[in-house]
Chain A
Amino acid sequence: MSRLDDYRGVVPQGTLDFLKLLAEKVQGKKFINVNSTRLGGGVAEILRSLLPLLQDVGVDARWEVIMGNEEFFNTTKAFHNALQGQEQRISPGMLQTYLEVNQENAKRLSLDADYVLIHDPQPAALIASRPPKGKWIWRCHIDISRPQWKVWNFLRQFVVKYDSAIFSLPRFAQRLPIPQFLIYPSIDPLSDKNRDLSSAEQAQILARLNIPLGKPILLQVSRFDRFKDPLGVIRAYRLVKKHHDVQLVLAGGGATDDPEGEIVLGEIREEARNDPDIHILLLPPDAHLEINALQRAATIVLQKSLREGFGLTVAEAMWKGKPVLGGFTGGITVQLVYGVTGFTVNSVEGTAFRIHYLLDNPEVMAKMGGDAREYVRQNFLITRHLGDWLALLNFGGGKN
């Protein structure tokens, strides 16, 4: 289990000492987090790292996961897509399933605490059964700047009952009668996904994944999801391939709440057309070391998303000193300071152009990678996230 002191050497000592002081007023407070999956996806990763740190500084933190059937997760996936702007058909039956599953979970879970933090739309309706005491906060991790309004209005009736809400970017904020806070997500530099790897360890993992090391590697790590534009990545690779003998790795982690992944995976395989330099890796949700090794082996990392909540894989690659090209969307624009810590791109052609430019200018890649790592150290590490949560609890969950 991680302890705050384990971060010595990564984060300044003064900051670690200060975080402990920030925790003093909320010692012993009960703080429950609820989401929809323990495996896969950025939320589960953040909770896996943050909860032990909260416990280490004296907060009585707990993590609960809601349970649901296939229909429920199909519904919440449709919600997810609709909230990110994709037109979806949501039937009254799907809404009913959503409500029923939330009611069942409200009966099953004990949510009596000083603070309850509900992550994303899946468990949002638990608020309907909130106990009389405690502050409830809704944490939205996805880009809801252009939602399908019918779905947002349905969800909004629950969101307004919370004491406050948290979003990852200012543009995600909505018209709500409750305080809305900005908290960037973060990565854990000591987790298996981000910790240092020895070269032997790295070589062993890459060999197991059948990734040859001879050619420069372009890498995209993301769920197999249309919003991540994997087909656009393959098209950009093909444009680059005319000038540079590179290989492309598309590594996708599955999540138990994402039933659409297999369909998209089929589309990617079709687009790849058995090109021996395109490696499609379907990794299990706990393949953290594999992702770590791939990111470290990559020459350039891509996150060519069309919509993105935050895009933590960008920070992960930056932390490993890699130049990153990311779609001009969501939190990618906060992480990639154009031309300094990476490049944001708006098209397949733009992606190909920047890959080409970087491959032709290795000294730019090295400088950009170094600046990217420092930028992550200052803004996107788990210790900063811990401070934001502790501050929120200090403010009584944000309610005035």
Chain B
Amino acid sequence: MTVKEAEYPFLFVGCWELREMLGRSARDEQQLLEMIEEVPLDSIYYHIHSYFLRHKYIAGPYPNDFATWAAIQVRDRVLGEKLSVLNPYDFENLESLRAEIVTIIDEHLSELQVIPRVVYGEPFYFMQSRIIAVPTGLEARTLKEFRDILSRVDVSVIYYHTFEAILRLRRKKGDFTRWMEEQPRFLKLAEGIQKLDPYMTSLESIRQRIVRLCDEALEKEAGV
């Protein structure tokens, strides 16, 4: 059997996040709402997306910092649940995502007589993300190479090509999917990867699932 090579190699890029504190904090949900309206978009990015870079191996109880704070620190599970179903992939950019978060909190508060606030818990501390992208120098031309490299690289590579690619670099799909789509025989694999919802799991788990999908495709190709 001949191993088919892709026209362009897949170049693996990893990243490291430096966390910057904005020195602003919210003690109740009204303050949270007002500050979300004002903070830089990099702060929205930090609390919604790069959350996953900080929870590489375990998925947290809620998939973003706003939901987690509302549910755990304020003990307002209703708002926590409303914010947890946000799928950032549904938004064209961070500004429209911010608008949706504001709407959710605003509507929630309009139904309440008293503004929920922190009593025993911690205030919400606004942070922002500074991501440094670093090419690993590793490249794959075949699916087998892709699978082998993906299974051993730093887990930040998964983050960069799934979250960072779409949300800050504004690519329409994750890099893994796009590379697969360029090769007609891997369209189904591309579809499988595209279907994975990274917001419901950890980076390590995404890696394992993609590797499994690759193994299935390789087995199929080999006629096993």
Is the CB of B152 closer than 8 A to any CB of chain A? yes
- Residues of B within 8 Å of A17, CB to CB, are 136, 153-154
Is the CB of B51 closer than 8 A to any CB of chain A? no
Q: How far is the CA of A12 from the CA of B204 in the complex (A)?
A: 12
- Residues of B within 8 Å of A378, CB to CB, are 56-57
Is the CB of B89 closer than 8 A to any CB of chain A? no
Asked whether, in the complex, the Cβ of B134 is within 8 Å of the Cβ of A388, the reply is no
- Residues of A within 8 Å of B22, CB to CB, are 173
**Chain A residue at minimum C-beta to C-beta distance from B130:** A395
Q: How far is the CA of A5 from the CA of B172 in the complex (A)?
A: 38
Is the CB of B3 closer than 8 A to any CB of chain A? no
Partner among B25, B123, B127, B153 whose Cβ is within 8 Å of the Cβ of A14: B153
A-B contact count (CB 8 A): 77
Is the CB of A167 closer than 8 A to any CB of chain B? yes
Stretch touching chain B among A176-184, A251-259, A304-312 = A176-184
User: Nearest Cβ distance between residue B159 and chain A, in whole angstroms?
Assistant: 12
Partner among A182, A183, A394, A398 whose Cβ is within 8 Å of the Cβ of B127: A182
- Residues of B within 8 Å of A65, CB to CB, are none
Is the CB of B20 closer than 8 A to any CB of chain A? yes
Is the CB of B155 closer than 8 A to any CB of chain A? yes
User: Nearest Cβ distance between residue B209 and chain A, in whole angstroms?
Assistant: 17
The size of the chain B interface, using a CB distance under 8 A, is 28
Question: Chain B 1-23, CB within 8 Å of chain A: the 1/0 string?
Answer: 00000000000001011111111
Within 8 A of B (CB), among A357-400: 374, 378, 387-388, 390-392, 394-395, 398
Question: A12-B154, A182-B19, A391-B18 known; A22 and B56 CB under 8 Å?
Answer: no
Question: A18-B154, A378-B57 known; A392 and B18 CB under 8 Å?
Answer: yes
Is the CB of A199 closer than 8 A to any CB of chain B? no
Question: Chain B 59-92, CB within 8 Å of chain A: the 1/0 string?
Answer: 0000000000000000000000000000000000
Q: How far is the CA of A14 from the CA of B15 in the complex (A)?
A: 12
- Residues of A within 8 Å of B21, CB to CB, are 167, 170, 173, 180-182
**Chain A residue at minimum C-beta to C-beta distance from B122:** A171
Question: Dominant SS at the A interface?
Answer: helix
Asked whether, in the complex, the Cβ of A387 is within 8 Å of the Cβ of B16, the reply is yes
Asked whether, in the complex, the Cβ of A175 is within 8 Å of the Cβ of B18, the reply is no
User: Nearest Cβ distance between residue A18 and chain B, in whole angstroms?
Assistant: 4
Question: Chain B 98-130, CB within 8 Å of chain A: the 1/0 string?
Answer: 000000000000000000000000110101001
- Residues of A within 8 Å of B152, CB to CB, are 13-14
- Residues of A within 8 Å of B169, CB to CB, are none
Is the CB of A157 closer than 8 A to any CB of chain B? no
Question: A14-B153, A14-B155, A18-B156 known; A174 and B16 CB under 8 Å?
Answer: no
- Residues of B within 8 Å of A183, CB to CB, are 19
Is the CB of A21 closer than 8 A to any CB of chain B? yes
Question: Chain A 311-351, CB within 8 Å of chain B: the 1/0 string?
Answer: 00000000000000000000001000000000000000000
Q: How many A residues are at the interface, by size bracket?
A: 20 to 34
Partner among B16, B57, B122, B123 whose Cβ is within 8 Å of the Cβ of A22: B16
Is the CB of B137 closer than 8 A to any CB of chain A? yes
Is the CB of A15 closer than 8 A to any CB of chain B? yes
Q: How far is the CA of A171 from the CA of B22 in the complex (A)?
A: 11
Q: How far is the CA of A227 from the CA of B57 in the complex (A)?
A: 34
Asked whether, in the complex, the Cβ of A181 is within 8 Å of the Cβ of B132, the reply is no
User: Nearest Cβ distance between residue B119 and chain A, in whole angstroms?
Assistant: 14
Asked whether, in the complex, the Cβ of A395 is within 8 Å of the Cβ of B136, the reply is no
User: Nearest Cβ distance between residue B156 and chain A, in whole angstroms?
Assistant: 7
Asked whether, in the complex, the Cβ of B18 is within 8 Å of the Cβ of A395, the reply is yes
* Most A-side CB within 10 Å, residue of B16, B17, B22: B16
- Residues of A within 8 Å of B125, CB to CB, are 170-171, 173
Partner among A175, A182, A374 whose Cβ is within 8 Å of the Cβ of B20: A182
Within 8 A of B (CB), among A97-113: none
Question: A12-B154, A182-B127, A378-B57 known; A21 and B134 CB under 8 Å?
Answer: yes
* Most A-side CB within 10 Å, residue of B17, B20, B122, B136: B20
**Chain A residue at minimum C-beta to C-beta distance from B17:** A391
- Residues of A within 8 Å of B16, CB to CB, are 18, 22, 387-388, 390-391
User: Nearest Cβ distance between residue B155 and chain A, in whole angstroms?
Assistant: 7
Asked whether, in the complex, the Cβ of A395 is within 8 Å of the Cβ of B154, the reply is no
**Chain A residue at minimum C-beta to C-beta distance from B128:** A179
- Could you write out 25 A-B pairs with CB less than 8 Å apart? A13-B152, A14-B152, A14-B153, A14-B154, A14-B157, A15-B155, A17-B136, A17-B154, A18-B136, A18-B154, A21-B134, A22-B16, A171-B125, A173-B21, A173-B22, A173-B125, A179-B20, A181-B19, A181-B21, A374-B57, A388-B16, A388-B18, A391-B16, A391-B18, A392-B18
Give me 8 other A-B pairs in contact (C-beta within 8 A), A17-B136, A182-B20, A391-B18 excluded.
A14-B152, A167-B21, A171-B122, A176-B23, A182-B127, A388-B16, A395-B132, A398-B18
Lowest 8 CB-CB distances: which A-B pairs, in order? A170-B125, A18-B154, A173-B21, A14-B154, A182-B19, A180-B21, A391-B18, A391-B16
B residues within 8 Å of A by Cβ?
Answer: 14, 16-23, 25, 56-57, 122-123, 125, 127, 130, 132, 134-137, 152-157
